[in-house]
Homo-oligomer: A and B are copies of this chain.
Amino acid sequence: MGAMLDTEGKETSATHGAYRRLREMILTGVLPPGQKLKIEQLRGLLDTGASPVREALSLLTSDMLVERIDQRGFRAAPVSKCNFEEILLLRCNLEETALHASITNADAAWEDRLVLRHHHMKKASQNGARDFENAHKAFHMALLDNSKMPLLLRYCSQLYDLNIRYRYLAAGGSSYKKRDIAAEHQQILDAALNHDADSATRHLIDHYRRTGEYLSSQMEP
């Protein structure tokens, strides 16, 4: 048995589907930090077998969203102010490198992609938080991806996700209300299109630091 029952046909494999769903649940705080992740429980929740669940948890381990404990199974990675500050610091460091390199390699195709992503992000801000999150990440990654450095991009993507998790935990998904985020994005975009690497990185890092300070202030010690 075990036939293909999904009518949607979206998930390529059970493992990948489990990975994506678990990942989203951890990022958005549905599975809270430190929570024990029992195979049987998740098997029921995701309606799949134990093997895909185990493999998905293994993959999430390397994204640092799940921790493996000895022979005692898995749990959602804990959070701490200290961890958050490390993420912020590394992000600033790595994204500065990546954005510099991206601008060094700047060409028309990249600029087009950038403008497009920015436009999509603005459009998505009318829709739900889910849509905006995706578009927001796509814009930020587009800023970096012209660096043509796959390892660096991977790290930036990982750190982005770790960071977004704190945003969900602190503010239920959108701490965007107070500041004029749109203006900050516009400044970064403009500087990038002008090939002004220093200005672009400065705006980008300010953008992160400001969000970081806000989130930090929301957290206990």
Residues of chain A touching chain B, judged by Cβ–Cβ distance below 8 Å, are 12-13, 51, 54-55, 58-59, 61-64, 70-71, 83, 86-87, 89-90, 93-94, 97, 149-152, 154-155, 159
A90 CB contacts on chain B under 8 angstroms: 149, 151-152, 155
A159 nearest in chain B by CB position: B151
Complex partner residue of A93 from B61, B89, B93, B154, CB under 8 angstroms: B93
**5 A-B pairs closest in CB distance:** A62-B62, A58-B58, A86-B149, A55-B58, A86-B151
A64 CB contacts on chain B under 8 angstroms: 151, 154
A93 CB contacts on chain B under 8 angstroms: 93-94, 97
Residue with the greatest number of chain B CB neighbours at <10 A, chosen from A58, A86, A94, A159: A58
A154 nearest in chain B by CB position: B64
Instruction: For the complex, give the distance between the alpha carbons of A195 and B29 in Å.
Output: 42
Instruction: For the complex, give the distance between the alpha carbons of A70 and B13 in Å.
Output: 9
Instruction: For the complex, give the distance between the alpha carbons of A185 and B40 in Å.
Output: 50
What's the least CB distance linking A200 to chain B, in Å? 18
What's the least CB distance linking A43 to chain B, in Å? 15
Instruction: For the complex, give the distance between the alpha carbons of A64 and B97 in Å.
Output: 21
A71 CB contacts on chain B under 8 angstroms: 12-13
A101 nearest in chain B by CB position: B89
Apart from A90-B155, A93-B94, list 18 A-B contacts with CB within 8 A.
A12-B70, A13-B71, A51-B51, A51-B54, A59-B61, A61-B62, A62-B62, A64-B151, A64-B154, A83-B151, A86-B150, A86-B151, A86-B152, A89-B149, A90-B149, A90-B152, A93-B93, A151-B159
Instruction: For the complex, give the distance between the alpha carbons of A70 and B155 in Å.
Output: 22
A58 CB contacts on chain B under 8 angstroms: 55, 58-59
Instruction: For the complex, give the distance between the alpha carbons of A94 and B86 in Å.
Output: 13
A86 CB contacts on chain B under 8 angstroms: 149-152
What's the least CB distance linking A49 to chain B, in Å? 12
A147 nearest in chain B by CB position: B86
Instruction: For the complex, give the distance between the alpha carbons of A154 and B161 in Å.
Output: 17
Instruction: For the complex, give the distance between the alpha carbons of A83 and B149 in Å.
Output: 8
